[in-house]
Structures are given as structure tokens and as C-alpha cells.
A and B are shown apart, each in its own frame.
Chain A
């Protein structure tokens, strides 16, 4: 009896402590550390590391478009680049908990995410696209997905739209695993992910194809801690500088043979 009473007491005490920790999440700023960086003199930025060709590992090193953009921005800010990886499902929580200064990991701006983090201007545009197995002639439009099993990366921008198209959603930690499941019979009917990521998988021998054209345009942006608008503005300035001096175009051409910012936004539906 006494044992259970004290157990209950400790649990309630723990809950109170947790509740008290809730919102006074002060960012760890000190005076001589500009922008309150996690590591002094370094721009520490996170990506999932499983999103080829944007951020992935080659020979044990993090590389890809996002990583090079991050390095170029850090250089303009006079900081050392310090890329780290964190699974996508917990990447925003990691930022909120001050584990790194920024997310440069192909995270698209959305209003909901903006409640938790401050976003820069988009550093590229990409389209959300439906992918199916190469031999699948049944699915020709988004409407055909009703009742079908759709694979998406959890916490990605594709999660909400997928839910409006079907009730049967399967969640993944990596786009590559989701796309691979398309090629295995009876696993998945479709995957929704970025156009560029799907084309990269096809280049690597995946037997998949796209359905129609991109459903919408997303605005991947750099996220920083919500209170840290100084850092956000400094990154925005550095981003504009690398766009103006041609560094951006050079990096984009290297990875995609085109400039990802060159896109006709006239009739596009922007995802928010």
C-alpha cells in the first residue's frame, strides 16, 4: 500500500517538474558568443543524411546539395561549417532543444513548422510528386489513390496531403526505403516525395515512375531557433550573397545540371 502511494507521489512530482520545464526554454546565449551558437565559431546544421542527393553520406562523409549550401553560407558568415545528422522525425525537436543552430536539410517552410522555428527565404524549390511501380498502369491521377496504400516519410510535408488522398498511410524514416518498397509487390501502391529524389532513385536503378506532374511547389528553407532572429537574418543575408556572386548556381549546376531557383512560380500552387 505504502509502496504504491509513494510511486504515485514520485510520478506526480515528476510530471510537475516536467510541466514547469515546459515553456521557459531559454536559448543558451552569452555575450561573446555571437548568435548564441551551440559551438563557438561554428555553424552547426542538421540534416537527416538519408535524402540523396540533397544530404547523404559518401565514403563516410556527409555530402550533397544541402551540405554544400550550408558550407557556403557558413563561409560567408565567417564561421566554420559543422554539419551533423539527426533522423527527420525528431529534427525539429532537436532544434527546439538547442542541439544545433540550424536545419539545412531540405525542410520545406510550412505555417505549422513556423510555429516552432524561424525560417529563412527558400533556398530552392521542389515539387511534391506521386511515384508508383514501373508496371503500375492503374494509378494515373491523384484521385486514383483513394483506398490505396501510400508511403510517406513521417513529419514530412507529404504526410498531410497523403492523408487527404487515402486513409491507408504507411510511415517511413527514409524516402529511399519508401521508394524501394514500391518495387516490391504488394507492399505499397504509391509514394509521395520530391521530384528530384525520385529521379535520383531511378538513376540508381529503381523500377519506378512518376504520375503526372508535381502536385505543388514546396519552399525548402533553413530553420533556426524561434527566438534567434539575428541568426535567421544573418543566414538570409549570406544566402543572398551566395546567390548574387554565383556560388549558388555553381553548386546547383554541379548536383542537378540546372539552377533550382529558376522556376516559373506563376501558376504554381505553393505549399504552406
Chain B
């Protein structure tokens, strides 16, 4: 296997971790956003706790915590510990993105649909949420790009993703500057591709009208 192929494999691991973290983060984000705007005090408190704790501690601490912290209960592989930690971390930020988007929808819309005879769940599902989702796309895209770059931190628990691979390559070829220049370009290209895909998606939503 050449160094080049090794880097491509590492890119794949980076993308896998990012994808898992994005999916997990979005699921957590939606659940906790709905909990936070719900009428139940208990659900609100749980959501607030989650968001406060996760946003109040560094990602690197969360990764270490998940990898080393609960080994007597469940032993996670470094890949899964890293991906789940990133997912939980993202969930807190995505929850706030969704909450902001949902609460940003004009009250009149909600009142109108309730007046039309829809119940609260129907109002949320058919009227408020689709509009909120559209508004949430740009900040979500931003959060996904941050996730892609943050995934480099899982090198500290020994995952052979892009940054970890580059770090070891530099220790073997004795060329720190050149190696990290190249790895920086890998990340840049990935982010550019991602930004472009997002732009396409946003345009598509606009062209279709509603």
C-alpha cells in the first residue's frame, strides 16, 4: 500500500466518522430541541442539562471520557468512541439550531393552523417543522463542516483518520511542514466539496418554491 493509498483510506475513515457524527447529532438535535420547547418541565430540564454540560466542556474531554471513562460497563472501540462522542457533541449545538429555527417561525402560522383544527403535533409536523428545516439548513451546513474538521481530534485515541495518518507519516519522512501542508489541502478540498453539495441542495429548495 502506498502512502497515497494510505491517505485515501484515512480520508474514508474521516468521512465515516463525520457521517456517523452528523446523523447522530441531527437525531439528538431534533429530539432535544423538541424536548426543550415541549410543555413538560422534566423534558425541558433534561434537554437543558444535556445542552449545558456538552456545550460547557471541551470536545477532547468528551472523547477521552467516552473512550476511557466507562470501560467497566461497555468497551467501545476507538472508532466508535470517537464517532459517538462527536455525535453527542454535535447534538447539543444542532438542538439549539433547530430550537432557534422552530421558534423563529411566526406565531401566527401556529395560531392559524390550530384555528384550522389541526392539533399541536399536526401543526408541528406539517406547518412549522418543514419551514424551520429550511431555515436551519445554512447553520446546519456550518455545523457539519465544523464536525468534519473536529474529527481530527480522535487521533488522540489512536484512530487512523486523516490527521493521525499524517502525524505518523511526518514522523517517518521527517517532513513536518510538507506533510501538514498536504493534509491541510485534503481537509480544504473535502470542505469545498461539502460546501458545494450544500449549495446545490439550498438552490434546489429555493427553486421548488415551498
Contacts and interface: CB of A to CB of B under 8 A. Distances in A.
Contact of A87 (B69, B75, B156): B156
A90 B172 contact: no
Interface string B6-40: 11010000000000000000000000000000000
Contacts of A18: 69
Interface stretch (B45-53, B120-128, B132-140, B191-199): B45-53
Contacts of A175: 171
Contact of A206 (B5, B165, B174): B174
Nearest to A25: B72
A49 B176 contact: no
A56 B72 contact: no
Contact of A59 (B1, B75, B176): B1
Interface string A234-254: 000000000000000000000
B210 interface: no
A204 B49 contact: no
A85 interface: yes
Interface of B is mostly: helix
B43 interface: no
B71 A97 contact: yes
A174 B167 contact: yes
A25 B9 CA distance: 34
B111 to A, nearest CB: 29
Interface string A49-60: 111100011111
Interface residues of B, number: 37
A21 B48 contact: no
Contact of B2 (A6, A7, A52, A59): A59
B164 interface: yes
Nearest to A22: B72
B168 A57 contact: yes
Interface residues of A, number: 43
A174 B171 contact: yes
A176 B102 CA distance: 51
B157 interface: yes
Contact of B157 (A52, A90, A180): A90
A170 interface: no
Contacts of A97: 67-68, 71, 75
Given A3-B45, A51-B171, A28 B75 contact: yes
A10 to B, nearest CB: 6
B158 interface: yes
Contacts of A173: 167
A257 B137 CA distance: 61
A49 B67 CA distance: 20
Interface in A76-101: 84-87, 89-90, 93-94, 97-99
A94 B75 CA distance: 11
23 contacts: A2-B45, A3-B45, A21-B70, A21-B71, A21-B72, A25-B71, A28-B75, A49-B171, A50-B168, A51-B171, A56-B168, A56-B171, A57-B171, A59-B6, A85-B168, A86-B158, A87-B157, A94-B157, A98-B75, A175-B171, A176-B174, A176-B176, A206-B174
Given A50-B168, A50-B172, A57-B172, 14 more contacts: A3-B45, A3-B48, A56-B172, A60-B6, A60-B7, A60-B165, A86-B158, A87-B157, A87-B158, A90-B157, A97-B75, A99-B75, A176-B176, A205-B174
Interface of A: 2-3, 6-7, 10, 18, 21, 24-26, 28, 46, 49-52, 56-61, 84-87, 89-90, 93-94, 97-99, 173-177, 180, 201, 204-206
Interface of B: 1-3, 5-7, 9, 45, 48-49, 52-53, 64, 67-73, 75, 78, 155-158, 160, 164-165, 167-172, 174, 176
